[in-house]
Amino acid sequence: MRKIIEEADLDVEVIEAEDGTKALPVAMSGEVDIVLSDIVMPNLDGIGLLRAIRQKHDAAVLPVILVTSQTDDSARDTGFEVGASDYLTRPFSPDELVARIQVQLRLKSLQRELQRAVERHREQASIDELTKLPNRRAFIESCQREIARSRRHRLAMVICIWDIDGLRNINLEVGHRAVDALITVVSELAGRLLRANDILARLSGGTFAVLLPHTDGEQARAVCARLCDTVANHGFHGHARGVTVSAGWATYPGGNLETVDELLNAAQTALDRAKARGPGRTEAWGSETD
């Protein structure tokens, strides 16, 4: 088979092994694209080799073609039950061997393309298109994991929601393209203030959220104040009047807040109260009777 494959110009390197025992570590190395195995081999036969391969790799990852001189259906049926990708019965022509290899390699290539497409779709479903930050869905998933971690290790965490003040009026004044640019700059300013393990996300419009692990209320207050000051002191091109943000936050554990939804609602309540006091303000949930 080696000669047929090499003469077919398949652009592959052929590695041979004397039996299944020697073939197994090669097949499991992660550097093999396809396995062709005789069913009848010493030490470890083809069915045993296939069974061992399938414990780690499915057919989409590592196709296996079984080769045999047996003509009864039982051997073929057993091979397919264990996970064979294809089956060749001797005698076979060089063209048939090459064609079967090409089919399996093509199927593997298509599977890789499909997996990449799925990963791209999953990433796009979790990323805000404008700012390239995590979106609400991704943020909630991160918060759920962090709450579980905080509960397990008895650590504090904070969810902060902040919003660009008067964004609707700004949009009427300068248009949506300028507002998009403003939102992007504000998100970048916020990102520079945060730690590597903090998670910044865009929830909608000019509203953002920050997950602050291992953070208590006083630390959150300092982060929010620094954010408000940074935005207020930044010179935004094309905006004669200053741009400000307001922020509200909620701490876990705190009060009766146990879920992500409860923390987000509490942080939103605090944000609404901050905005009611005027632009550029911050407020903690629980600072008044909620």
CATH number, position 78: 3.40.50.2300
What Cα–Cα distance (Å) separates residue 126 from each residue in 24, 137, 139, 140, 142?
A: 39, 6, 8, 10, 11
Q: Please check whether residues 145 and 268 belong to one and the same domain.
A: yes
Q: Which range marks the domain in which residue 255 is found?
A: 136-284
Residue-level pLDDT at 201: 96
Q: Please check whether residues 213 and 273 belong to one and the same domain.
A: yes
Residue 71 in any domain: the answer is yes
Q: Please check whether residues 143 and 276 belong to one and the same domain.
A: yes
Residue-level pLDDT at 289: 39
Beta-bridged to residue 67, according to DSSP, are 38, 88
Q: Please check whether residues 140 and 274 belong to one and the same domain.
A: yes
Residue-level pLDDT at 136: 92
Q: Please check whether residues 103 and 140 belong to one and the same domain.
A: no
Residue-level pLDDT at 257: 84
Q: Please check whether residues 143 and 257 belong to one and the same domain.
A: yes
Q: Please check whether residues 119 and 152 belong to one and the same domain.
A: no
- Total domains, the chain: 2
Q: In what order do the strands lie in the sheet with 207-213?
A: 199-204, 207-213, 157-164, 245-252, 282-284
Q: Which of 125, 160, 178 is the last residue of a domain?
A: 125
Residue 130 in any domain: the answer is no
Residue 80 in any domain: the answer is yes
CATH number at residue 190: 3.30.70.270
Say which residues have a Cβ less than 8 Å from residue 238's Cβ, sequence separation at least 6: 174, 178
* Low-confidence spans in the chain with pLDDT less than 50: 289-290
Residue 168 in any domain: the answer is yes
Q: Please check whether residues 105 and 213 belong to one and the same domain.
A: no
Burial zone of 216 (CB within 10 Å; 0-12 exposed, 13-18 middle, 19+ buried): middle
Q: Which of 104, 125, 146 is the last residue of a domain?
A: 125
Q: Which of 84, 106, 125 is the last residue of a domain?
A: 125
Among residues 76, 89, 85, 80, the alpha carbon closest in space to that of 103 is found at 85
Its pTM stands at: 0.61
Q: For residue 137, which amino acid is it?
A: R
Residue-level pLDDT at 131: 93
> Is the Cβ–Cβ distance between 224 and 209 less than 8 Å?
no
Residue 45 in any domain: the answer is yes
Residue 9 in any domain: the answer is yes
Q: Please check whether residues 13 and 112 belong to one and the same domain.
A: yes
Q: Please check whether residues 180 and 270 belong to one and the same domain.
A: yes
Residue 290 in any domain: the answer is no
Residue-level pLDDT at 20: 92
| Two tokens, residue 237 | 């091109």
Q: Please check whether residues 152 and 273 belong to one and the same domain.
A: yes
Residue-level pLDDT at 10: 81
Q: Please check whether residues 205 and 262 belong to one and the same domain.
A: yes
Residue 107 in any domain: the answer is yes
